[in-house]
Homo-oligomer: A and B are copies of this chain.
Amino acid sequence: MYPNWILQRAYLTPLRKALAYKGQSWTFQELNNLSIKRARQLSALGIQQGDRIAIMGPSNPDLVVMLYACMHLQCEMVMLNRRLSQEEVAYQLEDAEAVTVFVADEDVLKLPPKTAHHLFSTIAKGTEDTLDIDKEWPLHQTTTIMYTSGTTGFPKGVRQTVGNHQASATASVFNIGLQPEDVWLCAVPLFHISGFSILVRSLLYGNQVYLYDQFDVETITQNIIDGEVTHMSVVAVTLERILHTLEQLAMKASPRFKLMLAGGGPVPVDYLTRAHALNLAVAQTYGMTETSSQTATLASEDAIRKIGSAGKPLFFNQIKIAEPNDDGEGEICIRGPHVTPGYIGRFAQKSATIDGWLHTGDIGYIDEEGYLFVIDRRADLIISGGENIYPAEIENVLLTHPAVQEAGVCGKHDSRWGQVPIAFVVLKEQVSIEQLQAFCSQKLAKYKVPKEIILTDTLPRNGANKLVRRKLLQ
């Protein structure tokens, strides 16, 4: 049994700052008191210990308090991506069999009609019961469930346990160090593992989080110049915007700023060179929802020498290449206490690991010094502004349109987002491109809607008649 992180942190360092948002700040004691109150309000609504609930809201203190309240209740939290379409949300709620949804008032229209829900504002006005908060959590308890797609295009609900999150936070600190005065800037969504793991680290380390509900590049860059923050999680596109803003202002990062942790795909060399000139250390990281964030990280001092590498594993985990070819290339497999115990819903029976090894579907190799290189993403994964897009998911949507015979989706280079999805379609009936895009917009999050749809006579297929997506662009 391990201590309830929120209670323990509030006990150990009650007066340390925990959270800053738009000029206001909260101590660990204050966040604990607010979240216990919220937990008792949820309990009065009939929410019980261990219930599986879903949560949707923008990244702000209300959401943090709601998350911590649910953690006090040891609920399994389905973290809804607020950029999803109603149809996508409906799929996840049905698959997860969530008891109810706690939704920020401004997000209620994002829920499918007739979804059972409680508004944040209503909950906050409710009466409290006298619930006792559990002081301990078991390691195997599911804290969060995050949906991620895969080869089939059907999103899978990935469980992340107390033990997964703890192992991830611990391995991270063994890698990049820790000081009590560290402050992590969070402008990545809390519903993704990149954002939620910042909250976990804050609770375990006793560090403050500077939270943003959106990527406000001017204010964030100013935080970095002033040294108000020491760490930040970025994707390539947000890193570039910060670099650009620093260059425009002819300013550099404060010496107090320590590290940019860059996830969601490789960072272009040009960005690394520019970052170096601006005093910004960048550590590239490779991870996924199934590994509760970082699995391998490239130290900033190796960024140029090992360009293109995802680095070495964090202390508690191992990486190997399954069935390597003569060049040592094969599927990247990951093992460690940060790896999910498995999925929920329709994939609950599918084991996430084989003999403890997560087979990522990504292709890569490990060089003679032990550095990992990722050379091809699983299932032709498209990474657009840090969001994962699985071609099969978009193809599945296109194929449900009565006019579409065949569909193939791939990523196309984009100077702003890194990649954007484009579709190749073989028609069986007449339909306009605009109609197809409108159809996709109804069913898919905006960032998944193909930026281009190209009509064609045939799609490239291999001998087994399987679509070869990497040949689509040719």
Contact = CB atoms under 8 A, between A and B. Distances in A.
A357 to B, nearest CB: 11
Nearest to A181: B177
Q: Which secondary structure dominates where chain A touches chain B?
A: mixed
Given A2-B337, A3-B316, A174 B11 contact: no
Given A2-B337, A337-B2, A318 B204 contact: no
Contacts of A335: 1
A312 interface: yes
Interface in A103-162: 135-136
Contacts of A269: none
Contacts of A370: 11
A441 interface: no
A362 to B, nearest CB: 21
A312 B179 contact: no
Contacts of A316: 2-3
Contact of A204 (B136, B178, B180, B315): B315
A318 B173 contact: no
Contacts of A9: 315
Contact of A173 (B3, B11, B178, B313): B178
A166 B460 CA distance: 52
A170 interface: yes
Nearest to A8: B315
Contact of A3 (B177, B178, B318): B318
Contacts of A178: 173-174, 177-178
A422 B232 CA distance: 59
* Chain B CB within 10 A, most for which of A177, A206, A312, A315: A315
A13 to B, nearest CB: 9
Nearest to A1: B356
Contacts of A356: 1
A62 to B, nearest CB: 27
A303 to B, nearest CB: 16
Interface string A317-344: 1100000000000000001010000000
A205 interface: yes
Contact of A174 (B136, B204, B337): B204
A12 interface: yes
A337 B136 CA distance: 12
Contacts of A2: 316, 337
A18 B316 CA distance: 19
A180 B178 CA distance: 9
Contacts of A136: 318
Nearest to A314: B12
Contact of A179 (B8, B12, B177, B315): B177
A312 B174 contact: no
Given A174-B205, A318-B3, A312 B12 contact: yes
Interface string A1-37: 1110000110110000000000000000000000000
A180 B175 CA distance: 8
Nearest to A313: B12
A308 B316 CA distance: 37
Contacts of A170: 170
A283 to B, nearest CB: 12
B12 A315 contact: yes
Contacts of A8: 315
A179 B206 CA distance: 16
A170 to B, nearest CB: 5
Contacts of A312: 11-12
A174 B202 CA distance: 10
A174 B206 contact: yes
Given A2-B316, A3-B315, A318-B3, A177 B174 contact: no
A59 B64 CA distance: 49
Per CB-CB distance, the 10 closest pairs between chain A and chain B, nearest first, are A177-B179, A177-B178, A170-B170, A178-B178, A12-B312, A11-B370, A174-B204, A173-B173, A177-B180, A174-B205
Given A1-B335, A9-B315, A178-B178, 10 more contacts: A2-B337, A3-B317, A11-B312, A12-B313, A135-B318, A136-B318, A173-B174, A173-B178, A177-B178, A179-B179
Interface of A: 1-3, 8-9, 11-12, 135-136, 170, 173-174, 177-180, 204-206, 312-313, 315-318, 335, 337, 356, 370
6 contacts: A2-B316, A136-B318, A173-B173, A177-B177, A178-B178, A204-B315
